[in-house]
Amino acid sequence: MKLSELFAPVIDLVFPPRCPLCGAGLANQGGLCGECWAGLAMPGEPSCAACQRPFGEAQVAARALCAPCLAKPPRHDGIAAGTLYNDTSRRLVLALKHGRRIALAPLLARTIMPRLPQLSAEWLVVPVPLHRWRLWRRGFNQSALLGIELARHGPATLAVDILVRRKPTRALGGLGRKARARMLEGAIALNPKQAERIRGRNVVLVDDVMTSGATSNACVAVLKRAGANRVVIACFARVLDEIEGRHEPQTKTPET
C-alpha cells in the first residue's frame, strides 16, 4: 500500500475533500464535483485527422481535414487537448497558474491522457519552457507539472530541459496571430547540451493552454529542426479559432 493511501483517511479528516472550483463536498481528494465536471467541454468525434479539431455534428469523411489544416498544413503531428477552453477550464488554469494550486496538475493531466497516442519509453515528454525571470517570479512551470504527471503514467521519459526560452515575452493575450508569431521569433531554442536526445525521437510537447498555437508552433519548429520524428502537442485547454478571445480578457496570460 502506498503512503498516500495509508494516510488518506487522516488527510480527509483534517482536510475534507472539496471541489476546487465551487467548494462542494467530494468523496475523494483531487476531483471535481459533478456540476463543475459537467461544465468542462470535452473534444469529441468526428475530428480533423491532422489537428483533432472537433467537427461537431457535421458528417465528414474518414481522415477529413479542417479548413485551417487544408489552408496551412501543420508541422505538428496532432493535438491532444483534454478540454476545449471555456469558463470552467479557464478557472482551473487560473487556479493552477496564478492561484499556485499546483495540486490541480494531476487532475488536469488526467483529462489529457486519453487523448494521447500510445506512449512508450521511446517518447520524450517536453514542457513548453518559461523564461527564467518568469519562472523565478512564479516559482514553477505549470507545463512541467503537467508533463511530470503525463510521464508518470507514460511510460515516456520526462525531459524538462530540452527547450529553453532565450528572451522574455510579454503576455500574448489580446494579440493577433501575426503579432504573436513576431513576438516569439527567436524566443524558443534547443538546449545544445540536449540536442542528441531529440534526433529520431517522438515527442509530446506539453502546455496548459493552446490559444493561437504561436508558442507551440515555435517549439515544434525547433524540435523538428533538431531531428524529432513526431511531435504531438498535449494541452489541458484548447481555444478554437471561432471562439478565440471570448474569455481572453479575463485570463491575463492565456498562453504560457
CA nearest to 217, candidates 157, 160, 172, 153: 172
146 and 22 together in one domain = no
Residue 44's pLDDT is what? 87
Residue 24 C-alpha from the chain's centroid: 26
Residue 256 lies in a domain: no
How open is the CA angle 183-208-158, to the nearest 5 degrees? 100
- Cα-flanking dihedrals φ and ψ of residue 190, to 5°? -85, 135
Do 6 and 44 fall within a single domain? Answer: no
**Domain of 26?**
1-37
CB of 202 closer than 8 Å to CB of 194: no
Inter-CA distances, 214 with 63, 99, 173, 218, 254, Å: 25, 25, 11, 6, 12
Same domain membership, residue 202 and residue 171: yes
Residues 105 and 167 in one domain: yes
Give 127's strand partners: 206
Same domain, 120 and 206: yes
pTM comes to 0.87
**Same structural domain for residues 88 and 115?**
yes
Residue 68 belongs to domain with CATH number: 3.40.50.2020
Query: Taking a C-beta distance cutoff of 8 angstroms, is the pair 131, 169 a contact?
Result: yes
Same domain, 54 and 148: yes
Q: How many domains does the chain have?
A: 2
Residue 9 lies in a domain: yes
Let me know if residue 51 belongs to a domain.
Answer: yes
pLDDT in tens, the chain (256 residues): 454 555 454 455 445 788 999 989 887 777 899 999 999 999 988 899 999 998 877 778 888 999 999 999 999 999 999 999 999 999 999 999 999 999 999 999 999 999 999 998 889 999 999 999 889 999 999 999 999 999 988 789 999 999 999 887 766 666 666 777 777 788 899 999 998 999 999 999 999 999 888 899 999 999 999 999 999 999 999 998 655 444 443 444 455 6
> Which residues sit opposite 18 in a β-bridge?
25
Helices 87-97 and 142-152, axial angle in degrees (round to 10): 100
Integer Cα distance of 107 and 32 in angstroms:
9
43 and 18 part of one domain: no
Same structural domain, 187 and 217 = yes
